[in-house]
């Protein structure tokens, strides 16, 4: 057990701080620590000085998250991500990490969204940048924002570009749900389920007529 006023060799200092000898030499060049010198010119580090040096901060990312509901909107997804990335560069935010999804805003298990939650749990995100909160989830985006608040993650929501049609995307989400339910009901072709399918079919037609 070392005392605070003990002087240790560069090898011992390396083990004590858990860094390489090259890192200790770099810290010396940067003026973070000035070692004592023996008559022979060898470095000796005071334990108290070593303990005062903060370890490098954990790398955290600026995450840009984009999503569209269908593959037909992939061009919009690329524009969306370009807007997000350009905004981050204008703000001088580095370590930009792109996450994206193609799928319904009502699907909680999208690959990009799950990766976002995983990074939040590992405290790897400094800020989250999106064009609109519905890009995360149609319903339930507040849960993601709550995780961000717990991890002190800054959330920036940009204005939605004028060419995006939120009503159309909402309709696409609803239709995707109706399609899933219809497929499940079709797999169980009882009389009751056929009636339910007819109700879903009528609802789908009504949505399409009013779009």
Mind listing the pLDDT tens digit for each residue in 29-46?
888 889 999 989 999 999
The pTM (predicted TM-score) of the whole model is 0.55
Q: What is the mean pLDDT of residues 64-73?
A: 93
- Are the C-beta atoms of residues 50 and 14 closer than 8 Å to each other? no
Residue of 14, 69, 104, 141 with catalytic role: 69
Q: What is the mean pLDDT of residues 105-113?
A: 89
Give the C-alpha separation, 159 to 133, whole Å. Answer: 10
DSSP string, 134-172: GGT-SS-HHHHHHHHHHTT-EEEEPPPPTT--HHHHHHH
φ/ψ of 147, rounded to 5, equals -65, -40
Give the C-alpha separation, 75 to 125, whole Å. Answer: 27
Residue 129 has pLDDT above 60, yes or no: yes
The pLDDT of residue 44 is 94
Largest CA distance in the chain: 97
The pLDDT of residue 19 is 80
Beta pairing class for 96-102 and 36-37: unpaired
**72-86, 97-111, 173-187: range with lowest mean pLDDT:** 173-187
The pLDDT of residue 26 is 84
Structure tokens at 139: 């319903």
Distance of CA 105 to the CA centre of its chain: 17
Q: What is the mean pLDDT of residues 142-147?
A: 92
Residue 141 has pLDDT above 90, yes or no: no
Give the C-alpha separation, 139 to 210, whole Å. Answer: 22
The pLDDT of residue 164 is 46
Query: Bigger pLDDT: 192 or 114?
Result: 114
Neighbours of 136 (CB within 10 A): 24
Residue 92 has pLDDT above 60, yes or no: yes
Respond yes or no: is residue 20 known to be catalytic.
no
pLDDT > 90: percent of the chain: 36
Helices 10-17, 21-29: crossing angle, 10 deg rounding: 100
Question: How high is the mean pLDDT of the chain?
Answer: 81
Residue 90 has pLDDT above 80, yes or no: yes
The model's confidence at residue 114, banded by pLDDT at 50, 70 and 90, is very high
Helices 111-121, 141-150: crossing angle, 10 deg rounding: 20
């Amino acid at each position: 057990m070392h005392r605070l006023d003990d002087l240790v060799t560069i090898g011992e200092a390396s083990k004590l701080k858990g860094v390489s000898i090259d890192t200790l030499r770099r810290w010396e060049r940067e003026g973070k620590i000035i070692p004592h010198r023996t008559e022979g010119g060898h470095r000796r580090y005071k334990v108290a000085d070593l303990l005062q040096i903060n370890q490098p901060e954990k790398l955290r990312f600026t995450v840009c998250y984009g999503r569209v509901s269908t593959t037909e909107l992939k061009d919009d997804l690329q524009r969306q991500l370009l807007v997000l990335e350009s905004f981050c560069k204008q703000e001088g935010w580095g370590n930009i990490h792109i996450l994206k999804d193609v799928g319904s805003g009502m699907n909680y298990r999208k690959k990009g969204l799950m990766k976002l939650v995983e990074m939040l749990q590992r405290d790897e995100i400094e800020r989250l940048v999106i064009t609109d909160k519905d890009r995360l989830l149609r319903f339930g985006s507040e849960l993601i924002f709550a995780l961000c608040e717990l991890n002190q993650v800054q959330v920036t929501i940009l204005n939605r570009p004028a060419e995006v049609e939120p009503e159309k995307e909402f309709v696409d989400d609803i239709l995707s749900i109706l399609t899933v339910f219809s497929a499940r009901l079709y797999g169980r072709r009882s009389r009751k389920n056929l009636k339910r399918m007819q109700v879903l079919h009528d609802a789908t037609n009504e949505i399409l007529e009013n779009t």
